[in-house]
Amino acid sequence: MGVKKRMSGCVATANAIRLADVDVICSYPIRPYTGIMSELARMVADGELDAEFILGEGEHGQLSVVYGAAAAGARAFTGSSGVGVMYAMELYSPISGERLPLQMCIADRTLDPPGDFGSEQTDAMCCRDQGWIQGWASTPQEALDISLMYYRIGEDPRVLLPQYACQDGYFVSHILGEVDVPTQAEVNAFLPPYKNHHVLDVKNPMIIGAQIEPQMGPGLQYQRYLAVEGSRKVIEEVHAEFADIFGRKYDPWIEEYMTDGAETVIFIQGGHAETGKTVVNRLRNLGEKVGLIRLRTVRPFPTKQVREALSKFKAVGVIDNSVSFGIACSAGILLTEVRAAIYDMGDKVKTVGFVAGLGGEMITHDEFYKVFKKLKEVVKTGRVEKESYWLPFEL
Amino acid sequence: MLEEIKSIKKAPVEEYYVPGHRTCAGCGPALQYRLVAKAAGPNTIFLGPTGCMYVANTSYACGPWATPWMHTQITNGGAVASGVEAAFKAMIRKHKTDAEFPNIIVMAGDGGTSDIGIQALSAAFYRGHNILFICYDNESYANTGIQASPMTPYGAWTTFTPAGPVVPEGKKLMPKDITKIMAHGHPELKYLATASLSYPIDLMNKVRKGLNANGPAFLYIHAPCPKGWSFPADKTVEIGKLAVETGMIQLYELIDGEYKLTYKPTKYKPITEYIKYQGRFSHLQPEHIEKLQQFANQRLKEVGVEVEAPTITT
Amino acid sequence: MTVPYEKIPFAGTVPSPQKENEGMITGNWRTRRPILDAEKCTSCQLCWISCPDSSINLGDETSSLTFNLKYCKGCGICNEVCPVGAISLVPELDFED
Segment A170-219, tens digit of pLDDT:
999 999 999 999 999 999 999 999 999 999 999 999 999 999 999 999 99
**Which residues in chain A have Cβ-Cβ distances shorter than 8 Å to C16?**
205-207
Query: Domain C22-94: which topology?
Result: Alpha-Beta Plaits (3.30.70)
Per-residue pLDDT tens digits for C51-77 = 999 999 999 888 999 999 999 999 999
Q: Is the same domain home to A258 and A241?
A: no
Domain carrying residue B265: 28-302
**Which residues in chain C have Cβ-Cβ distances shorter than 8 Å to B20?**
17, 20-26, 71
Evaluate if residue B128 carries a pLDDT over 90: yes
Evaluate if residue B68 carries a pLDDT over 60: yes
In this predicted structure, what is the pLDDT of residue B253? 98
| Chain B interface mutation, best of C75, C80, C92, highest count of B Cβ atoms under 10 Å | C75
Q: For chain B, say whether A88 makes contact (Cβ under 8 Å).
A: no
Q: Is B314 helix (H, G, I), strand (E, B) or coil?
A: coil
CATH number for the domain spanning B184: value is: 3.40.50.970
Average pLDDT on A141-160 reads: 98
In this predicted structure, what is the pLDDT of residue A1? 62
Is residue A114 a contact partner of residue A96, using CB atoms and an 8 Å limit?
Answer: no
**Which residues in chain C have Cβ-Cβ distances shorter than 8 Å to B21?**
21, 24, 26, 53
Q: Is the same domain home to A96 and A204?
A: yes
Q: Is the same domain home to A294 and A205?
A: no
| Chain B interface mutation, best of C32, C77, C78, C87, highest count of B Cβ atoms under 10 Å | C77
Q: Is the same domain home to A89 and A193?
A: yes
Identify the CA nearest to A75 among candidates A39, A100, A106, A108: A100
Residue A395 lies in a domain: no
Beta bridge partners of A165: A105, A135
Is residue A116 a contact partner of residue A360, using CB atoms and an 8 Å limit?
Answer: yes
Q: For chain B, say whether A211 makes contact (Cβ under 8 Å).
A: yes
In this predicted structure, what is the pLDDT of residue B307? 79
Identify the CA nearest to A66 among candidates B72, B117, B103: B72
**Which residues in chain A have Cβ-Cβ distances shorter than 8 Å to B131?**
none
In this predicted structure, what is the pLDDT of residue A390? 97
Q: Is the same domain home to A205 and A278?
A: no
**Which residues in chain A have Cβ-Cβ distances shorter than 8 Å to B75?**
60, 64, 90
Identify residues of C whose CB sits under 8 angstroms from chain B CBs. Answer: 12, 14, 16-26, 29, 43-46, 48-55, 58, 68, 70-71, 73-77, 79-81
Question: Comparing A52 with B308, which gets the higher pLDDT?
Answer: A52
In this predicted structure, what is the pLDDT of residue B311? 54
Residue A316 lies in a domain: yes
Q: Total domain count for chain B?
A: 1
CB-CB: which of B80, B82, B90 is closest to A51?
B90
In this predicted structure, what is the pLDDT of residue B312? 55
Q: Is the same domain home to A279 and A360?
A: yes
Residue B11 lies in a domain: no
> Quick one: closest CA in B to C8, which residue?
B61
Per-residue pLDDT tens digits for B181-212 = 999 999 999 999 999 999 999 999 999 999 99
Helix or strand (DSSP H, E) at A184:
helix A184-190
What 8-state DSSP symbol labels residue B312? P
How many Cβ pairs within 8 Å bridge chains A and C? Answer: 53
Distance from CA of A191 to the nearest CA of B (A): 15
CA B84 to chain centre: 22
Asked if A197's CB is within 8 angstroms of C10's CB, the reply is: yes
Average pLDDT on A115-129 reads: 97
CATH number for the domain spanning A334: value is: 3.40.50.920
How many Cβ pairs within 8 Å bridge chains B and C? Answer: 118
CB-CB: which of A198, A204, A218 is closest to C11?
A198
Q: For chain A, say whether C24 makes contact (Cβ under 8 Å).
A: no
Q: What mean pLDDT value characterizes chain B?
A: 96
CATH number for the domain spanning A73: value is: 3.40.50.970
**Which residues in chain A have Cβ-Cβ distances shorter than 8 Å to B107?**
none
Q: For chain A, say whether C15 makes contact (Cβ under 8 Å).
A: yes
Q: Is the same domain home to A200 and A278?
A: no
**Which residues in chain C have Cβ-Cβ distances shorter than 8 Å to A197?**
10-11, 13
| Chain C interface mutation, best of A95, A199, A208, A229, highest count of C Cβ atoms under 10 Å | A208
**Which residues in chain C have Cβ-Cβ distances shorter than 8 Å to A207?**
13-16
In this predicted structure, what is the pLDDT of residue A2? 76
In this predicted structure, what is the pLDDT of residue B93? 98
Q: What mean pLDDT value characterizes chain A?
A: 97
Q: For chain B, say whether A212 makes contact (Cβ under 8 Å).
A: yes
Strand stretches in chain A, DSSP E: 3-7, 24-27, 52-55, 76-80, 103-107, 133-137, 163-167, 177-181, 206-208, 254-257, 264-268, 290-295, 315-320, 350-355, 388-390
CB-CB: which of A55, A73, A202 is closest to B87?
A73
Is residue A246 a contact partner of residue C34, using CB atoms and an 8 Å limit?
Answer: no
Average pLDDT on C31-44 reads: 96
What 8-state DSSP symbol labels residue B268? P
Q: For chain A, say whether C1 makes contact (Cβ under 8 Å).
A: yes
Domain carrying residue A56: 3-246
Residue A46 lies in a domain: yes
Residue type, B302: E
Asked if A220's CB is within 8 angstroms of C13's CB, the reply is: no
Asked if B88's CB is within 8 angstroms of A57's CB, the reply is: no
**Domain end (from A246, A269, A293):** A246
Residue A92 lies in a domain: yes
| Chain A interface mutation, best of C13, C14, C20, C22, highest count of A Cβ atoms under 10 Å | C13
Distance from CA of A78 to the nearest CA of B (A): 12
Asked if B122's CB is within 8 angstroms of A207's CB, the reply is: no
Q: For chain A, say whether C19 makes contact (Cβ under 8 Å).
A: no
Q: Is the same domain home to A278 and A380?
A: yes
Helix or strand (DSSP H, E) at B71:
strand B69-72
Distance from CA of A53 to the nearest CA of C (A): 28
Is residue B213 a contact partner of residue B133, using CB atoms and an 8 Å limit?
Answer: no
Asked if C17's CB is within 8 angstroms of B62's CB, the reply is: yes
Asked if A72's CB is within 8 angstroms of B84's CB, the reply is: yes
Q: Total domain count for chain A?
A: 2
In this predicted structure, what is the pLDDT of residue A347? 87
Per-residue pLDDT tens digits for B217-252 = 999 999 999 999 999 999 999 999 999 999 999 999
> Could you tell me the pLDDT band of residue B309, with boundaries at 50, 70 and 90?
low
Asked if C75's CB is within 8 angstroms of B233's CB, the reply is: yes
Residue B288 lies in a domain: yes
Asked if A69's CB is within 8 angstroms of B86's CB, the reply is: yes
Residue A295 lies in a domain: yes
Residue B296 lies in a domain: yes
Q: How many CB atoms lie within 10 A of CB B175?
A: 20
Distance between CA B4 and CA B205 in Å, rounded?
A: 6
**Which residues in chain B have Cβ-Cβ distances shorter than 8 Å to C29?**
25
Q: Is the same domain home to A73 and A214?
A: yes
Residue B204 lies in a domain: yes
| Chain B interface mutation, best of C53, C58, C60, highest count of B Cβ atoms under 10 Å | C53
Domain ranges, ordered by start, for chain C: 22-94
Q: How many CA atoms lie within 13 A of A219 on its CB side?
A: 18
Asked if B73's CB is within 8 angstroms of A24's CB, the reply is: no
Distance between CA B157 and CA B31 in Å, rounded?
A: 24
Residue A129 burial by Cβ neighbours in a 10 Å radius (0-12, 13-18, 19+): exposed
Average pLDDT on A292-317 reads: 98
**Which residues in chain B have Cβ-Cβ distances shorter than 8 Å to C74?**
25
Identify the CA nearest to B82 among candidates A68, A153, A191, A187: A68
CB-CB: which of C21, C29, C43 is closest to B64?
C21
Q: Is the same domain home to A310 and A351?
A: yes
In this predicted structure, what is the pLDDT of residue B313? 53
Q: For chain B, say whether A176 makes contact (Cβ under 8 Å).
A: no
Residue A100 lies in a domain: yes
Distance between CA B151 and CA B167 in Å, rounded?
A: 19
Is residue A352 a contact partner of residue A315, using CB atoms and an 8 Å limit?
Answer: yes
Asked if C50's CB is within 8 angstroms of B200's CB, the reply is: yes
Phi-psi region of C67 (alpha: psi -120 to 50; beta: other; left: phi over 0): beta
Q: How many CB atoms lie within 10 A of CB A370?
A: 19
